[in-house]
Homo-oligomer: A and B are copies of this chain.
């Protein structure tokens, strides 16, 4: 990444209140305090790392206005109200430079069905396939090798990274962001036994992502058996997540990597599921429910519940059970000792 900023440019981009010291050359990277070189910008995001500032080799540092330290020789301090926020401001600027919106239009190598409607402001990258009756809305970006199936719809300003698959009839709201390899609208896993054979149950529903939903790389969201699988507005889904048919996820949820949610389960708003956790089918989770990493949930949870473990129990109980289970060796010994005492007392 060939980026280079002067201290003055950084001060402007981060809204620095003052600059102290100066560094030798341009700043070309961002790094944590311990790893930064004289060509890097670093930042003091958490007061507990204040001691690490003095030993940091960073050429420039975002520090709180009231930070007591002084820059080393060849080092610049940019004093800001909130270093983390200032860094995010800078990163947003950098992101826009590193990933400029591609120009509008359809790449010559893309295969677009005659009946598809692609807004002139949308970008359809190389080797994309757009099916019959599909709609690509204004400002949408489809990087290379994306597939938007027949009668599917991609909302305004969506950004599909390279290699995303949107199945037939599925619907994406505005500003959705999908990472490479995400599959929206695979068949639900529905079968029934018939005379010792397994017969497939048709899966004729679709998947609806509301506005501002994000889906991680290689995650899979199954279409409904009928009706729809829904992900609510603003919900973010990490990589390698499995969402089964007819699941309904509320708004502003965080679904961490490798989570699996089985069929027909409903989540409220603002839920947070930890990495590799699983939720059984046909359950109902209220708003703000939290589930710990690797937990396995097999029961309904009311609003604000925090569950952990497999099978999951309330977090406080789970923590206590973990502590006690580690004391099992001690408990077994104690019981043996009691038995011996009682035995000798009885003699």
Contact = CB atoms under 8 A, between A and B. Distances in A.
A181 B165 contact: yes
Contacts of A327: 332
Contacts of A32: 227
A161 B185 CA distance: 11
A125 B149 CA distance: 12
A98 B181 CA distance: 24
A220 B328 contact: no
Given A162-B149, A313-B326, A331-B331, A187 B179 contact: yes
A92 interface: yes
A173 to B, nearest CB: 15
Interface residues of A, number: 108
Contacts of A280: 275, 293
A214 B278 CA distance: 23
Interface in A256-270: 256-258, 260, 262, 270
A273 interface: no
B197 A186 contact: no
Nearest to A320: B329
A297 to B, nearest CB: 10
A134 to B, nearest CB: 12
Contact of A109 (B111, B205, B260): B111
Interface in A114-133: 125-127, 129
Interface string A44-56: 0000000000000
A234 B198 contact: yes
A227 B168 contact: no
A197 B145 contact: no
A101 interface: no
Q: How many copies does the complex hold?
A: 3
A196 B327 CA distance: 39
Contacts of A200: 177, 214, 236
Interface in A320-343: 320-322, 324-329, 331-332, 334-335, 338-339, 341-342
Interface stretch (A18-26, A66-74, A237-245): A237-245
Contacts of A298: 293
A242 B218 CA distance: 10
Contacts of A257: 189, 220, 242, 244, 260, 262
Interface string A27-55: 00111100100000000000000000000
Contact of A30 (B88, B216, B226, B235): B226
A195 to B, nearest CB: 11
A326 B334 CA distance: 18
A1 B150 CA distance: 10
A330 to B, nearest CB: 10
Contacts of A205: 30
A227 B91 contact: no
A227 B329 contact: no
5 contacts: A32-B227, A181-B183, A257-B260, A293-B298, A338-B339
Given A126-B129, A181-B218, A218-B220, 5 more contacts: A30-B205, A99-B168, A177-B200, A200-B236, A222-B239
